[in-house]
A and B are shown apart, each in its own frame.
Chain A
């Protein structure tokens, strides 16, 4: 039963991708997209219930596995892809009316959207390190042409950068995987068994430390490029700002999490083999650098989507730093941070997308008077930014607070840098957003019907998670933190 649910979770988006490729740009295609995502979400919930009741398990001949770490990310992925599909219905209809996308573009958009969800879920659920790499590359490839969907010169440039830089980056991760396999087959023997996370974690103490340290360098560069860690982040602001907004929301909210998930699994394995904290130190370094680079870049942005892309780099930096720091508190904070950042950031992108449509520009200087123009968009953006900036009582505050206390206790030297980054980012975001939401609507603003539900739902969840963490969630986080040294 549990196995069937796991397979359903993967097969539904794949089937939906095929169906949407056949249906094309019909009237009901967006509804079908929502329906497919809703079925995926339902399957993920059922699976989560089973894991909650029966604990972690292997499925389909050890090919897939579910544990406390990947199940919550799978539910999150399915949930955000559902709400984004709801948002995309109104958003893309408006883009279609404005003539920014044609009928083939729409067909392609819907099919690739579902394929992208499939690739991310495969990344999470596969037990094989090699398949994880393949699925990660598939997730990149399925979104490359979505970034260039509008065919403007800047969109094509952004997509090309995304394709080339992520391709090169992730190739390094494949070299790391080859080295990992090289070390593993000496212990586990040749064949697919030697690449299974469950087997590797069992024997991590016997793996050759020198090979694994070298492998980790390649893995951190490879998956780190996809996480958007500075100085490998160049592609990210372009790719996340030039594509259609629903794609920006899932790229920032979900794909970065998936890449970080891969990196954290590798780190746990390497730590087990080397018995040192080198891997953690590398991640802490990349994390702090990302926070600082992103925070100071935030100040210089003019394009609203670019600005929030830099904010994603900052938050991924915080989570990477916390995973690198390790220990129960920091890891717990990082797991929570991945969850609340994903919810808050995608809700921000929903409102940003509507704001950009109302003013037919992404330039922040021309976006004004949002609250009076459309209260949902204005207040949604304002509250979303307060949430992402770490204002209590939103969930981001809780996770950042946990991470900061752990930092002050375990690595006090890093705390000032982290605080500096957080403060600068906070100031930069509020300085930019405040004039956009307040004041009188400018003459070039046009009214629009916004998608209410996704924004309200996400903000309510971020708020609720800040006030009360349900026991099943904290139980999973504690178990996952126990697995990750």
Chain B
């Protein structure tokens, strides 16, 4: 595969990743949100494999398989299982309404392009133009965590943010060194177990996973 083609595929996948990030912002249902997250993971995994093949960086295959196992299979499975166990299917309430959130999201994308402009000029890599998308995915994940007051959506936002970081690593640098990728994957795995335990604790204590209820710690006055 020549690099030109790989760059086009990479650009196309970047567009799809951004699309899933926006779809997550608009999605009100919990199950739909987790499906979108799994799709985003799949796009990242395919992207890593293609970049790895085109640029002959074979350690990216390992990252690709790790992403597939962790973000497409394991994490969505854990999240689905938790939702079933805790019986939370209802629609998610949003703090800011969805059209406004989308507008803020568009602003964040433009901001990301502005911020990464000097880097795009420096890089000689085929994948350089997608760094802005990666940063935008990080910021959109952050936006989702701020605008949704539910423990599960906050976690999905956090994981989407992590997806953006992975995308940044594969598009700006052909992937971080393998030992770092493995360590980050291990941290994500531990984090998954911790939020799983947390959901049970929060549910048992507050009888809901609505984060709005957690407002007891205020400044004393």
Contacts and interface: CB of A to CB of B under 8 A. Distances in A.
Interface of A: 128, 130-131, 133-134, 137-138, 141, 144-145, 148, 151-154, 156-161, 163-164, 167-168, 171-172, 174-175, 177-179, 181-182, 185-186, 190-192, 194-195, 208, 210-211, 214, 238, 242, 297, 300-303, 306
B118 A153 contact: no
B26 to A, nearest CB: 21
B205 interface: yes
Contacts of A141: 187, 190-191, 194
B173 A160 contact: no
Interface string B116-131: 0011001100000000
B201 interface: yes
Contact of A130 (B118, B135, B179, B190): B179
Contact of A192 (B138, B161, B179): B179
Given A130-B177, A175-B165, A191-B177, A167 B158 contact: yes
Interface string B157-176: 01001100100110011101
The prevalent SS among residues of B at the interface is helix
B197 interface: yes
B95 interface: no
Contacts of A191: 177
B169 A134 contact: no
Interface centre among A141, A157, A191, A195 (most CB of B within 10 A): A157
B186 interface: yes
20 contacts: A131-B180, A133-B180, A148-B198, A153-B206, A159-B198, A160-B211, A163-B195, A163-B198, A164-B145, A168-B142, A171-B138, A172-B138, A175-B165, A178-B176, A181-B173, A181-B176, A210-B118, A214-B115, A300-B221, A301-B219
Given A182-B123, A182-B172, A163 B177 contact: no
B165 A128 contact: no
A297 B194 CA distance: 31
A159 B161 CA distance: 20
Contact of B173 (A158, A171, A182): A182
Given A130-B179, A181-B176, A158 B217 contact: yes
A154 B213 CA distance: 11
Contacts of B162: 171
B145 A168 contact: yes
The 9 closest A-B pairs by CB, nearest first: A130-B180, A302-B220, A134-B183, A157-B214, A192-B177, A137-B187, A210-B118, A182-B172, A238-B217
B161 A160 contact: no
A76 B68 CA distance: 42
B137 to A, nearest CB: 11
B172 A179 contact: yes
Contacts of A195: 176-177, 180
Contacts, number: 136
Given A134-B180, A195-B180, A185 B165 contact: no
Contact of A145 (B184, B197, B205, B206): B197
Contacts of A131: 179-180, 183
Contacts of A163: 191, 194-195, 198
B131 to A, nearest CB: 8
A305 to B, nearest CB: 12
A156 B202 contact: yes
B162 to A, nearest CB: 6
B154 interface: yes
Contacts of A302: 220
Nearest to A193: B177
B41 to A, nearest CB: 16
Nearest to B161: A171
Nearest to A239: B217
Interface size range of chain B in the complex: 35 or more
Interface in B78-111: none
Contacts of B151: 160
Given A154-B216, A156-B202, 16 more contacts: A131-B183, A133-B184, A141-B190, A145-B197, A148-B198, A156-B201, A159-B198, A164-B154, A178-B168, A182-B119, A190-B174, A195-B176, A210-B122, A211-B118, A238-B217, A301-B220
B145 A153 contact: no
A178 B181 CA distance: 11
Contact of B165 (A148, A151, A171, A194): A171
Contacts of B195: 163
Given A128-B179, A130-B179, A164-B154, A297 B219 contact: yes
B202 A130 contact: no
A171 B169 CA distance: 12
A242 B195 CA distance: 18
B177 A134 contact: no
A8 B168 CA distance: 36
B157 to A, nearest CB: 9
A242 B217 CA distance: 10
B86 to A, nearest CB: 15
A153 B168 contact: no
Contacts of B216: 153-154, 157
B119 to A, nearest CB: 6
B56 to A, nearest CB: 11
A152 B165 CA distance: 34
Interface centre among B154, B161, B172, B180 (most CB of A within 10 A): B180
A120 B187 CA distance: 15
B33 to A, nearest CB: 17
B116 to A, nearest CB: 8
B187 A130 contact: no
Interface centre among B145, B177, B221 (most CB of A within 10 A): B177
A178 B158 CA distance: 18
A154 B219 CA distance: 13
A152 B169 CA distance: 39
A158 B154 CA distance: 15
A298 B220 CA distance: 10
Nearest to B146: A168
